[in-house]
Structure 1
Amino acid sequence: MDLQEFNAAPGDRLRPLLAACCDVRRWVDAVLAGRPYGDAAELTQTADKALRDLEATEVDRALAAHPRIGARAEGAGTEASWSRNEQSGVGDDPEVRAALAAGNREYEDRFGRVFLICATGLSAQEMLASLQHRLTNDETTEAAVVQEELRKIALLRLAKVVA
C-alpha cells in the first residue's frame, strides 16, 4: 500500500501489519496515532522514535515473535514470510547451520532470550561472526544491541508495508 492508503486505512486493518513489523502494542498505537503522515520520512521518524523508547519488557515481547537465526519460520503469515526472506543468507550448509544452532543455544543460556540480528543482506558467515562476537558482551551492552537490531528489522518491515 502507498502512504495515502496507509493514512486512510482503518486501524484494525493496519494493526496486524504493524504488529508483524514489531509486536509491541504501544509501538503499534504510536504509529497509528501519528496518522496522517505527510511523507514516508515522517512515518519513519515516528516509528523510529517509538522503537527507541521501548522498555525491556516490550523488547522481550517483540523477540518472542522472532525465530532463531537459521531456523525457518513456519506458517503462511506476513511475519513468517518476511522472516524467511530476511534469513535467506543462512543457506543450506550443514556445518554453518550446526554452528548457528550451537551458538543460539549458548546465547540463550547466557542472555535468556533469542539471538536477534537484522539478517537482511548478511551471509551466514557474517551472522555467525556477529553471534560469536556478541556472546562476549555484558548484559547491558547486549540489551542495547538487541534493541538496535529490533529497531532495524521493524523499520525495514515498515518500509515493506508502505511501499
Structure 2
Amino acid sequence: MDLLEFNSAPTDRLRPELAACCDVPRWVDAILAKRPYADVAALTAVADQALRELDDNEVDRALRAHPRIGDRPQGASTEAAWSRKEQSGVDPESRQALAEGNRQYEDRFGRVFLICATGLSAAQMLNSLKERLTHDDATEAAVVHEELRKIALLRLAKVVTA
C-alpha cells in the first residue's frame, strides 16, 4: 500500500500488517499513534525509534514469530512468505549445518538464532552463527535486538511503499 492508504486505513486493518513486521503490540501502537505521516522517511524514523526502545521481553516476544534459519516456514501467512523469501539463500545441503548450529545456539542462549538473512548466502549466515556462539549473553542480546530492528524495518518497507 502507499503512504496515503497507510495513513487513512482503519487501525484494525493495519495492526496485523505491522505485527507481521514485528510482533510487539507497543511497537505497533507507537506507529499507529503517530499517523498521519508526511512521508515514508518520517514513518521509518518513528518505527526505528520504537524498535530501539524494545525491552528484553518484547524482543523475546518478537522472536517467537520468527522461524529458525534454514527451516522452510509453512503456511500462507505474510510472515511465512517473507521468511521464505528472506531465506532464499539457504540451499538444501546447508540446511543440516544450520539446523545443528541452531540447536547449539538455542542450547547456549535459550532462543532462536535471528539474523537479517536478506541478501546473505547460507555460508554467510552459518559463519555469523558460529561467531555469535562465542558472544557473552549481553553482547548477543544487543546483536539480536539489532537484527530484529533491521528485519522489522525491511518488512515495514514491504508494507508501505513510497
Q: Do both proteins adopt the same fold according to a TM-score greater than 0.5, normalized to the shorter chain? A: yes
Q: Do structure 1's residue 131 and structure 2's residue 139 form an aligned pair?
A: no
Q: Do structure 1's residue 26 and structure 2's residue 21 form an aligned pair?
A: no
1:110 alignment partner in structure 2: 108
CA deviations 1:21-51 (Å, max 9, x no partner) are 0000000000100100000000000000000
TM-score (structure 1 length as normaliser)? 0.98
| Equivalent position SS for 2:68 | coil
CA deviations 1:104-149 (Å, max 9, x no partner) are 0000000000000000000000000000000000000000000000
Q: How does 1:80-95 map to 2 (within 5 A)?
A: 80-92=80-92, 94=93
Q: Partners of 1:27 and 1:73 in 2: how far apart?
A: 24
CA deviations 1:74-121 (Å, max 9, x no partner) are 1101111000000000122x2x21110110000000000000000000
2:96 alignment partner in structure 1: 98
Q: Partners of 1:36 and 1:97 in 2: how far apart?
A: 43
2:51 alignment partner in structure 1: 51
2:149 alignment partner in structure 1: 151
Moved over 2 A (4+): none
Q: Partners of 2:13 and 2:81 in 1: how far apart?
A: 18
1:120 alignment partner in structure 2: 118
Unaligned runs of 5+ in 2: none
| Equivalent position SS for 1:90 | coil
| Equivalent position SS for 1:28 | helix
| Equivalent position SS for 1:113 | coil
Q: Do structure 1's residue 69 and structure 2's residue 51 form an aligned pair?
A: no
Unaligned runs of 5+ in 1: none
Q: Partners of 2:91 and 2:29 in 1: how far apart?
A: 36
CA-atom RMSD, angstroms?
A: 0.5
Opposite residue 52 of structure 2, the aligned amino acid is: R
| Equivalent position SS for 2:4 | helix
What is the percentage of aligned positions where both structures have the same residue?
75
TM-score (structure 2 length as normaliser)? 0.98
Opposite residue 135 of structure 2, the aligned amino acid is: N
Aligned length: 161
| Equivalent position SS for 1:110 | helix
